[in-house]
Amino acid sequence: MGESEGSEFPPKKLQQSETADFPAKKLARQLDFTQGVLPELQPSPVVVTPASAQCQPQPQPHPQPQPQVVSIPVAPQQQTQQQPAARAVKPESPKSRPRLNAELKDGTPKKQKQCNCKHSRCLKLYCECFASGTYCDGCNCVNCYNNVENEAARREAVEATLERNPNAFRPKIASSPHGTRDSREETGEGLVFVKHNKGCHCKKSGCLKKYCECFQANILCSENCKCMDCKNFEGSEERQALFHGDHGNNMAYIQQAANAAITGAIGSSGYASLPVSRKRKGQELFFGQTVKDPSFHRLGHFQQASHIRPAAPSSPLPSNPVARAGNTTTLGSSKITYRSLLADIIQSQDLKELCSVLVVLSGEAAKTLSDQRNSMKKRVEDQRDTFLASSTQERLQSQKEIDADKIVSNDCSSANHEGGLDDSSLDGVDMPKGRPMSPGTMALMCDEQDTIFMAAASPNGLMGHGCDSSSQLPCGQGMTEAHAEQERIVLMKFRDCLNRLITFGEIKETKCSSLARTELGNEKGPPSTGLANTRTRTGSQQGPFSNGVVKVPATAKPPQMVTSIVATSSSDLKKIPSLPQNGDNKLKS
């Protein structure tokens, strides 16, 4: 192609789109990149001030780089990145050049893209720099106009581009925490929902190569895509094969695996051997759902994933070579299929045993309570008789009140008040209005404010049989003391079990983390992204019950928690700080 167009601008071929049809009226829009035009395009306009903004060895115009303030749309991925000081030398081979925006390599700090445009003058969307709304800086492009020196031409090109596609500079990857769940990405931190705005149109790559924008952006293909033979969906065996080996961040392996997947070498077992096009073309019959249904991907992905997981290697660290930081807009679209740390710990027989224990405990509690009540009642009656015989009516009356208090505090539903339901223990707990919670439930809730749990646990009999009424009726309104006591005991035992499970999970997690760090350390510098980051706790810990059913206040527990595994429940009580201590003491006694 005539590359000698260096001096002529715009070249005839580009005239139409970039100059000729660039009427003044469009200029009226005054799209001024330096002022953060397209405000809607950038959630948070970023000022990029590279130390030196220049296109590399350019025979062309832009003489000298000058510090620039660019506030054009900048893809989120690029925002924080700063080019390493030494840029004079091509930092990496062309093979590792990022394509779609500044991509993370192995989750490490992003490199700024460096285009190599030759024919587009970096004024078309072919140019990644231009597409991402940034000036070329240290690129290897030829005849670059995407710089300050050619701001006018650049602006025109932007105009033309916007003319063709008003969303041209919008980030291609949309993410929203509450968006459609087409491309749910399970990360260690939870689910995020990201998808390619336009979707890809891959035909031959199976969406498992970086040709695919979705894959490159590290997200799943969505219903927006029109790809063929897509293997980039959750649960795809081919896809999982890419990320679930022990090959960590080895991109070479990934590519190799991708090739194998595309050619059918992988994914030959079970359902996975279904026609390759499980997603789009010919996927309409999948579970009788149409592709149009946004839930389709979700369903397909997850159902398949659920089948696959058990066979997933217990690789300590889901290896995602291109995992992004979980907090960026692309939202750490880690291709990790989350597998509970407790997956191997909780056995069905354990649950049965737990249930048996709880039943026994419940029975014992009822019996104990019954005995206590009898003795207490007897005592009270004796006192009463004494008073009646020897005291005035007045004195008798006051004593009755005292006794009543005694009963309430020591007996009646010991779980209720004695269970530690002093107000102080409930600080910070948002109680659902209009529905009294049983003390045991409240104790379990601790400072958990997840209303989902509250809604789900209490009324549905999570507390066990006979607890429904107790959980809804306050003491003195029909709740039997026996039920309350049973509930309290059962809940506390159950809590202990949960705590121990947590401990197990944490130990397992610790192992995984250290392994992960070791792995990452071998490959890269700081494990600043990826799963490692997911360990940053924020108060509620993702764990085996991270679905919101049960959450236990995160307390950074040291390794010595190992001892608590074999310890009795009492030592675990501290894991649920808000659990009433008086109740605790009583339990011990």
Count of residues that interact with DNA, criterion CB under 7 A: 49
Nearest approach in angstroms of CB 245 to DNA is 17
Query: Does 465 interact with DNA (rule: CB under 7 A)?
Result: no
**Rounded Cα–Cα distance for residues 147 and 134 (Å):** 9
Query: Does 131 interact with DNA (rule: CB under 7 A)?
Result: yes
**Rounded Cα–Cα distance for residues 510 and 95 (Å):** 36
| Range in contact with DNA (rule: CB under 7 A) among 117-125, 324-332, 365-373, 555-563 | 117-125
Task: Work out which of 26, 105, 118, 307 binds DNA, going by CB under 7 A.
Answer: 118
Query: Does 204 interact with DNA (rule: CB under 7 A)?
Result: yes
**Rounded Cα–Cα distance for residues 568 and 207 (Å):** 52
**Rounded Cα–Cα distance for residues 138 and 393 (Å):** 98
Three-state SS at 55: strand
Task: Work out which of 150, 161, 416, 499 binds DNA, going by CB under 7 A.
Answer: 161
Crossing angle of helices 348-390 and 481-523, in 10° steps, is 140
The residue (of 210 and 335) whose beta carbon lies closer to DNA is: 210
Query: Does 247 interact with DNA (rule: CB under 7 A)?
Result: no
| Contact mark string toward DNA, 206..225, x via CB under 7 A | -x-xxxxx--x---------
| Contact mark string toward DNA, 92..111, x via CB under 7 A | -xxx-xxxx--x--------
Query: Does 203 interact with DNA (rule: CB under 7 A)?
Result: yes
Query: Does 198 interact with DNA (rule: CB under 7 A)?
Result: yes
C-alpha of 306 from chain center? 18
Query: Does 116 interact with DNA (rule: CB under 7 A)?
Result: yes
Nearest approach in angstroms of CB 469 to DNA is 59
268 Cβ contact partners less than 8 Å away, ≥ 6 residues apart: none
Nearest approach in angstroms of CB 259 to DNA is 5
DSSP letters for 282-332:
T-TTGGG--TTSTHHHHHHHHHHHHHHGGGS---SS---TTPPPTTSTTTT
**Rounded Cα–Cα distance for residues 383 and 381 (Å):** 5
Task: Work out which of 68, 112, 175, 205 binds DNA, going by CB under 7 A.
Answer: 205
Task: Work out which of 38, 70, 153, 200 binds DNA, going by CB under 7 A.
Answer: 200
| Range in contact with DNA (rule: CB under 7 A) among 16-24, 59-67, 294-302, 429-437 | 16-24
Query: Does 164 interact with DNA (rule: CB under 7 A)?
Result: yes
The one-character DSSP state at 267 is: -
Nearest approach in angstroms of CB 19 to DNA is 10
204 Cβ contact partners less than 8 Å away, ≥ 6 residues apart: 229, 262
Q: Quick count: other Cβ atoms within 10 Å of Cβ 563?
A: 10
Query: Does 119 interact with DNA (rule: CB under 7 A)?
Result: yes
Strand intervals (E) in 310-453: none
Query: Does 292 interact with DNA (rule: CB under 7 A)?
Result: no
**Tokens matching residue 288:** 């009788």
**Rounded Cα–Cα distance for residues 416 and 315 (Å):** 46
Task: Work out which of 87, 110, 124, 278 binds DNA, going by CB under 7 A.
Answer: 124
| Contact mark string toward DNA, 423..442, x via CB under 7 A | --------------------
Paired strand residues for 194: 175
Nearest approach in angstroms of CB 141 to DNA is 7
Nearest to 536 by CA among 44, 187, 76, 175: 187
Cα dihedral across residues 156, 160, 163, 169: positive or negative: negative
Nearest approach in angstroms of CB 579 to DNA is 53
Task: Work out which of 42, 77, 120, 319 binds DNA, going by CB under 7 A.
Answer: 120
Binding site for DNA (CB under 7 A): 1, 13-14, 16-18, 93-95, 97-100, 103, 115-120, 122, 124-128, 131, 161, 164-165, 168, 172, 198, 200-205, 207, 209-213, 216, 255, 258-259
